Amino acid sequence: MGRVPIAEVLDLWDRAAPERGWRRALVLAGAEDWAEAASWPLGERDTRVLDFRKQLFGSRMALRQECPDCAAELETEIDLDALPGPGVIPRGTLTRGDFRVRFRVPDTALLARAERARTVEEARRLLLEGCVEEADRGGEWVDAGALPEDVVKALGDAIDEADPRANLELSFRCASCGETFDVAFDAAGCVWAELDVWARRRLEEVHALAAAYGWSEREILSLSEWRRQAYLELVRQ
């Protein structure tokens, strides 16, 4: 546990618990003004989430993943400080053949709109239109939806390069069957899973000490880690 007061972490856990998806990610990123935070590039948002995680638990993160071929459970550890980025270039220009595309990297607000789409095709269209600010072919304006597939693919690559933490993938190799595969790294999802386990353990400690001594939650959480654990050992004897 880092230097963040336990009570503050539990308050954040309490705020994040009822949320889902991008809303929970913004809470973990420390968002105060949601309208402003929704405009953060995804890599910036996830960097804030991971910085919060490092304050709590350090830069080493253990991950578990099921092998898609044999269903074996795999374990690995990553160093958050070694991840690509975190620099973000919010806007850029792609030139491919006769096409020139001015683009911006996606943010949470754009993803939220795409999530409300009724079909995959509609979601893809919304994302493309949201990222393309202006496109032309030989100086003649081109609608985002009319861009050829090779330009759209190149645009995706350019966005990944401009915001390297927005679409991170981790590579796994199964020791049981030898299968190798990549998995998208959901920063907020992984951090929430850790935080939820940690918070529930702290609440169990508060429950045990409150039942034994009649102390309030605030009094228990104000104890140092060592003193709290010493009291818990006495209670469990």
Q: Copy the structure tokens of residue 132.
A: 């393309």
CA distance 50 to 48: 5
Q: What is the DSSP letter of 179?
A: -
Helices (H), 149-186: 149-162
* Structure confidence by residue, pLDDT tens digits, 10-28: 999 999 999 999 999 999 9
For residues 220 and 201, what is the distance between their CA atoms, to the nearest angstrom?
13
Q: Is 69 helix (H, G, I), strand (E, B) or coil?
A: coil
Give the Å distances, CA to CA, from 100 to 43, 128, 131, 138, 145.
24, 15, 14, 8, 14
Q: Cβ atoms within 10 A of the Cβ of 91, count?
A: 11
* pLDDT at residue 1, rounded to an integer: 58
Nearest to 209, CA basis, from 192, 223, 195: 223
Residues of the chain with pLDDT under 70: 1-2
Question: Could you tell me which residues come within 8 angstroms of residue 228 by beta carbon, excluding any fewer than 6 positions away?
Answer: 205, 209, 220
CA 38 to chain centre: 13
Written as one letter, the residue type at 62 is A
Q: What is the pLDDT of residue 23?
A: 93
Query: CA nearest 114: which of 133, 127, 132?
Result: 127
Q: What is the rounded end-to-end Cα distance, in angstroms, of the chain?
A: 25
**Confidence at residue 2, expressed as pLDDT on a 0 to 100 scale:** 56
CA distance 224 to 1: 12
Could you read off the pLDDT of 138-175 as tens digits, one per residue?
A: 999 999 999 999 999 999 999 999 999 998 999 889 98
* pLDDT for the residue 108: 95
pTM for the model: 0.89
d(CA 46, CA 29): 7
Phi-psi region of 140 (alpha: psi -120 to 50; beta: other; left: phi over 0): beta
Strand-strand pairing, 132-137 and 99-104: antiparallel
Tokens of 152: 């759209």
Q: Quick one: pLDDT at residue 215? A: 96
3-state secondary structure of 171: strand
Peptide bond into 5 cis (omega under 30): no
